Amino acid sequence: MRGFNIDQFEKRTLKAQRLMQQHGLDALLLTTETNVRYFTGFLTRFWESPTRPWYLIIPLKGKPIAVIPSIGKALMNQTWVEDIRTWPSPDLNDDGISLLSDTLNEIAKNKNIGIPSGIETYVRMPQADLKKLSQNIKLTSDFDIVKKLRMTKTNEEISKIENACRIAAEAFRRVPEIAFENVNLDEVFRKFQVLCLEAGADWVPYLAGGADTEGYDDVISPAKEAPLKKRDILMLDTGLVWDGYFCDYDRNWSVDTPSKVVSDAYSQLLEASDAAFELAKPGATASDLFHAMNSILTKNSTGTDAGRLGHGVGMSLTEWPSLIPDDHTVLEKGMVLSLEPGISINEKIIVHEENIEITETGARYLSPKADKELSVI
């Protein structure tokens, strides 16, 4: 099912309001696409345009209040939000900031407004307007309220992520149709995005990967106009979206039969992700999963310097927590994670990634688990 029943948004809002009361907040001010959509269901690609600011206020009681450009009123009217206040944007003199300030002063008794301000958050509004708003409104941290709510997914959210994973799996299955010796890597990237769309993706905002002899240099560079050749390892990592939720996992292929060094490294990656999978259950921590993988990755070689070995997945490609030594976030039922071990071989790297759900008793794969042997194309 696309979208959510209204009760989902009601529950999210009530949970936020209970936490707001505990922390003495009169309202939450939300400015980013994912946070606005989390409490409203307002789904549009129009956020790609950086021109207009969009605001959502979560009051201490009642439904959210939208303060948005007039171009978005018709779509916001299709959500459960009833109080929609608009202005014609862009306005070079006052792009909604007076309307926002007046609304906050109206509903916030003590003018104590929480705004997400921790790691992996940002404020999407002009800095000058933020400064102007701060002159008569007390802006403070949201005490990680939004982060805590979004980290733990409902069954309905998880089903959307799992469907995105299924769509990616179908695209990955068809990679041998488009990737083989002498085909340029940039062509593979373009055709793979088509495969994702044909399989049912709404869009493919993220596609990374690489290909080179027995590994690749990195996983973030644009695809090169270079042909695949024997002994290359091809990796494709997709963050496709279905109904507003991402998957984020990869698959690797060898052009012709892989060497023993590559095969052993690939097996080591699977061993590392398996170790984290077995440990992933309520009560374990993000850092526990990091150490479980890292101890295997560094057994016979060096791990990569990517900075983390996995992360949360959901409305954003990457979310909290981070699988790093210093993230001691306790895992809870309903969290969705990527397990992303990487290994270095002769100055190249190979990375493997899966998506999992934390259940009451352990972990469950959302991405169909990779084959034990490296696929050959």
Measured between alpha carbons, how far is 348 from 213 in angstroms, rounded to an integer? 8
Q: How confident is the model at residue 301 (pLDDT cuts 50, 70, 90)?
A: low
Q: How confident is the model at residue 110 (pLDDT cuts 50, 70, 90)?
A: confident
Residues 143 and 291 reside in one and the same domain: no
CATH number at 337 reads 3.90.230.10
What is the span of the domain harbouring residue 31? Answer: 6-150
CA dihedral 131, 133, 135, 138 (to 10 degrees): -110
pLDDT over threshold 80, residue 21:
yes
Residues 159 and 204 reside in one and the same domain: yes
Residues 221 and 196 reside in one and the same domain: yes
* Average pLDDT over every residue of 77-99: 97
Distances (CA, A) of 267 to 200, 201, 231, 294, 341: 31, 30, 17, 14, 11
Which single residue is written with the structure tokens 């699988």? Answer: 323
Q: How confident is the model at residue 304 (pLDDT cuts 50, 70, 90)?
A: low
115, 131, 150 - which closes a domain = 150
With beta carbons less than 8 A apart as the criterion, state whether 255 and 180 touch. Answer: yes
Q: List b or e across 356-371, with b for residues whose CB sees 16 or more CB atoms inside 10 angstroms.
A: bbbeeeebebbbbebe
Q: How many domains does the chain have?
A: 2
- For residue 113, what is the enclosing H or E element? strand 112-115
Tokens found for residue 54: 């969009």
Per-residue pLDDT, 111: 82
Alpha helix locations (H) across the chain?
Answer: 6-22, 33-40, 73-76, 97-107, 127-134, 145-151, 155-173, 185-199, 260-279, 286-297
Residues 178 and 208 reside in one and the same domain: yes
118, 150, 182 - which closes a domain = 150
* Average pLDDT over every residue of 135-162: 96
pLDDT over threshold 90, residue 151:
yes
Residues 141 and 178 reside in one and the same domain: no
Residues 159 and 141 reside in one and the same domain: no
CATH number at 59 reads 3.40.350.10
Per-residue pLDDT, 351: 97
Per-residue pLDDT, 303: 52
Which single residue is written with the structure tokens 């949201």? Answer: 142
pTM over 0.85: yes
| pLDDT tens sequence across 188-229 | 999 999 999 999 999 999 999 999 999 999 999 999 999 999
Reported as half-sphere exposure (CB side, CA atoms, 13 A), residue 255 has a value of 24
